[in-house]
Amino acid sequence: MDDLTKMENTVHEYRKALEQFAARQDAAPQTIDQRGSGEEREKIARMDADLDAAERLIQLRAAQKKQAELDKSEFESRLSLGTGRNEREYEERWIKALTNPMEARALTLGTSGAGIPTDMERRIVERLQQVNVIRSMAQVRTIDSKRTITVEGSLPTTNLVAEEGAITASDPSFGTAISVVPYKLVCATQMSMEFIEDAIGNGGIGSGLNYVADKIASSISLKEEEYFTTGTNSSQPEGIAGSSANTKLAALSQVTDLGGGAITTISGDNLIDTVHLVPVQYRNSPRFSWLVSDTFVRVIRKIKVNSTDYVWKLNETAGLSQGVPGTIYGVPYRVGQYLATATTNNNVFGVVGDFNYFEIFDRTGITSMVDPYTGAANQRVTLYVTKRVDSKITQAVAFAAITC
């Protein structure tokens, strides 16, 4: 059975399973992940994996003719790196690389930029979504070059006029233009030849490079989160609680200022005032939320009346067993690890607003570059992974903050 036939059979079984689920549950097929039985979800996941494998194999077959034109002797000489492996082993590795695209990428020794293998790039994106708090709150867009965003200033004017009264026309106006410039984040990881060999193993890429992908993803994600929070908008992304954000909010009288006080001086009045500084139309958004530090949550949890009763009450019957409620003055909150807790002037302690207007711009693609030469004396290969991203506050009036 050829590869295309296998893929067609898998697609047929996939559709059949979804139709059976839809008929049994009287539900849309795409809800199987939420409403399907454990057996159905496992079957779909297995077929997803089969389809991915079939797709990669078909892509490989299409590229084999070109791949076979590689100069064998040059490939072998690059691959050796002084490891002392015999000629027969070189030949086996070379043939194996031609039939396994994942291994060919793992053994790439050129220093030109190349896209990360599809499954590794997908895995990295998944980890970014899981690790990065602000990424899950904000608008995330994909771009393929620099962008300029025009921000609306005002609407055309509507007037009440008498019968046959004069009508005055007016135009919508536009304010500032926001320049989006994807900044480059690079994570470099060194791997020994022994690690690469063990990661490849006998059956493919192995768990070793999965681990590398996880660690690279976590590192890039944490650095993104830092810039998305406190970035200055000068040679780096703009943070929602950075210095440029503070300037924008202050210019709009959108800041509740603690006058240089510590975070422990936050009061219930500060929280209420800050929420109501945001215009009503933004407060009605599903993305209207607080972004605060864990210290911020701990401080406001201790606000008391008459020095005895906590203002922030839990369910009276559940007591403390159910944990902390998920809102601050009725507004959902998320905890970010990079918000300020010290009293440096103009630090943003907490920000609330419609995160539709804090936008993240991912430059298309994650790229890799492999350097086998710099560490050749120690039989080390360096993998550079590059991701380009920017973030902007596109409507400052949609946010308010508590600052010191």
Torsion-angle region of 321 (φ positive above 0: left; ψ -120 to 50: alpha; else: beta):
alpha
Q: Is residue 112 part of a domain?
A: no
What integer pLDDT is reported at residue 6 of this predicted model?
A: 67
Q: Is residue 290 part of a domain?
A: yes
For the chain, the domain total comes to 2
Domain that holds residue 316: 118-152+174-404
Cα(first)–Cα(last) distance of the chain, in Å? 69
Question: Are residues 366 and 402 located together in one domain of the fold?
Answer: yes
Question: Are residues 208 and 324 located together in one domain of the fold?
Answer: yes
Q: Is residue 111 part of a domain?
A: no
Q: Is residue 169 part of a domain?
A: no
End position of a domain, from candidates 106, 137, 162: 106
End position of a domain, from candidates 50, 73, 106: 106
**Count of Cβ atoms closer than 10 Å to residue 363 Cβ:** 21
Q: Is residue 168 part of a domain?
A: no
Question: Are residues 9 and 82 located together in one domain of the fold?
Answer: yes
Alpha-carbon distance 199 to 217, whole Å?
18
Question: Are residues 27 and 55 located together in one domain of the fold?
Answer: yes
What integer pLDDT is reported at residue 102 of this predicted model?
A: 40
Question: Are residues 136 and 34 located together in one domain of the fold?
Answer: no
Question: pLDDT digits over 79-125, tens only?
Answer: 444 444 444 454 444 444 433 434 333 333 333 444 445 455 555 56
Q: Is residue 63 part of a domain?
A: yes
Question: Are residues 231 and 333 located together in one domain of the fold?
Answer: yes
Question: pLDDT digits over 7-31, tens only?
Answer: 667 667 777 777 777 777 777 766 7
Helix (H) or strand (E) holding 229: helix 206-230
CATH number of the structural domain spanning residue 285 = 3.90.1690
* Top-confidence residue, 325 or 166: 166
